[in-house]
Amino acid sequence: MKVLVGLSGGVDSAVAAHLLKSQGHDVTCAFMRNWDSFANNDIMGNPTIMDDMCTQEVDYADAKRVADHLGLPLLRVDYVKEYWDNVFSFFLAETERGHTPNPDILCNRYVKFDSFYDFMDKNGFDMLATGHYAVTKEGKMFRAEDQNKDQTYFLSRVKPEVLPRVMFPLGELNKEEVRKIALELDLPVATKKDSTGICFIGEREYRDFLKNYLKDSEGSIVEVDSGKQIGRHQGVMFYTIGQRHGLNINTSVGPFFVVGKDLSTNTIYVGKGSDHPMLFASKAEIAEMNWFTDKPKETMDATAKFRYRQKDLKVRISWLDDTRIEVTMLEDVKSVTLGQEAVFYLGDEVLGGGRIDRVFDINGKEVKYDSRLA
């Protein structure tokens, strides 16, 4: 088949391209440029802003070396506007609301498997491939063989209709095998470390980075049970429910975790101990549901992840309308955060995912980021 593979300049996509070629496919590589630091005012918090070559160009150079090494053509496509319009603008708007959006999930939904998928389709390719750790079979998605690297959480909002023409060559491999293949092939990126940070942006000093776009405002950190101020924060938007580190609370009595936020008074509320009751949720509503399989007509039991690398949690799902579900927790669930993503599984099959829109505490009271705790 004619396959277009996204080549990022990292080891995973490089090995994916090699595997596709070795299987006899007609492979073309493409590098996506989705971020422009200078055009997007990405100055504060950017550790590479003064480098001779920006991170994206370094990655492109690595992708070019890989393509040349494998004897494959390399295209270059630009989705800077699409990324800003469909991913980053929403990320900023949600962050300003005190929510915790996931740009990696939005990037997969709107750029890699939407704009890039359309490019693949319009240019005569049969399939689109990436270096994600996931498995597709008969138009459905399943967890990868390597459970530690499984990336189905980040792929949960990909449109179901594209799956029949998407390939994940690394789905049956573990990371050690991928590294071994890269070393055996003497790929130029064989020892390159995995990318981290915000999708297509990279590692940033998070608070300083956000100050490029959002106005920070110092406020009080209040111990919720005593009502006493025990610290100062640099802006409500920088903190998420369940957060422990970076609070700068000058006391030996703790540890403290963020249990609430009040945007109306610019206050962060913290509770003592990882088992503080305000950290736990009994129910949630998930909006903008993306479902890969037939919707159940009645309530169904499944497992869920409310953040990446969280263990599978037992839940009960019931549909409220075509795009919204109610999730009842069948065991204690901590730090269910507005704006984050919930992803649902039945065994290894990925059922779908959506945005956490409403959260209810263990007493059934809705969690809001306004004057709930005042």
Positions marked active-site: 107, 199
Residue the block writes with tokens 């480098």: 51
Token pair in block for residue 251: 């006391």
Yes or no: say if 87 and 111 are a contact pair by the CB < 8 Å rule. Answer: yes
- For 255, phi then psi, to 5°, come to -75, 160
Q: What residue type is assigned to position 54 of the chain?
A: C
CB distance 368 to 339 below 8 Å: no
3-state secondary structure of 90: helix
**Token pair of 33, please?**
């440029």
Structure tokens at 51: 């480098």
Q: If DSSP states are collapsed to H, E and C, what string results for 346-357?
A: ECCEEEEEEEEE
Beta carbons within 8 Å of 229's beta carbon, 6+ residues apart: 220, 221, 222, 223
Please name the amino acid found at residue 348: D
Pairing of strands 300-305, 341-346: antiparallel
Phi, psi of 40, rounded to the nearest 5 degrees: -100, 15
Is the alpha carbon torsion for 100, 85, 160, 200 positive or negative?
Answer: negative
Q: Which helix (H) or strand (E) holds 3?
A: strand 2-6
Other C-beta atoms within 10 Å of 244: how many?
Answer: 12
Residue 15 dihedral angles phi and psi, to the nearest 5°: -70, -35
> DSSP character for 192?
P
Give the CA radius of gyration of the chain.
Answer: 22
Strand pairing category for 267-272 and 341-346: unpaired
CA–CA dist 350, 172 (Å, integer): 16
